[in-house]
Amino acid sequence: MSELPGLDGLLGVEHVELTADKVVVRFTITDRHLQPFGIPHGGIYCAVHESTASIAGQIWIGTKGVVVGTNNSTDFLRQAKNGDTITTTATPIHRGRTQQLWHLDSVDQDGRLIAQGQVRLANLPQEVPADVVEKMTGSTVG
């Protein structure tokens, strides 16, 4: 799979499943994810959660608007370690005309919950060319 653009690419995120009802991504903790004390930086989970929810929200809204994050709440429940593979899954809590709310779980390769969160998105009434969505998500929308 080709490297993703932007922060997801820098973090080594790989898209596993992309649908309007669920988005799953995966990345492996490496030295680039660690804070100075040698443990994964919590900002990784916040960033991956927001990106994953945004992809899911954009797939759902399609070309009818643009989604932007307005709130990101992430709780860190267990410490991962270098070499762990983290899978993050976004599922909808609410999808409405002006906003969306997504639930996110990040688990390690043994299925243990590492971080959990919610991301609220605003639906901006702006037309988006389908090729932009396709480039971002690797899938077509309509």
pLDDT in tens, 79-130: 999 999 999 999 999 999 999 999 999 999 999 999 999 999 999 999 877 6
pLDDT at 1: 44
- Is the pLDDT reported for residue 136 higher than 80? no
**Considering the chain, what percentage of its residues have pLDDT values greater than 70?**
89
pLDDT at 100: 98
- Is the pLDDT reported for residue 140 higher than 80? no
**CA distances (Å), origin 16, targets 19, 52, 87, 90, 139:** 10, 11, 9, 12, 12
- Is the pLDDT reported for residue 2 higher than 60? no
Q: Sorting pLDDT into bands at 50, 70 and 90, what band is 3?
A: low
Separation between Cα atoms, residue 74 and residue 108, nearest integer Å:
16
- Is the pLDDT reported for residue 142 higher than 60? no
What does pTM read for this prediction? 0.89
Yes or no: say if 13 and 4 are a contact pair by the CB < 8 Å rule.
yes
Average pLDDT of 6-17? 94
Yes or no: say if 69 and 105 are a contact pair by the CB < 8 Å rule.
no
Name the token pair of 28: 């492996």
For residue 63, with 0-12 CB atoms within 10 Å meaning exposed, 13-18 middle and 19 or more buried, which class applies? Answer: middle
pLDDT at 141: 52
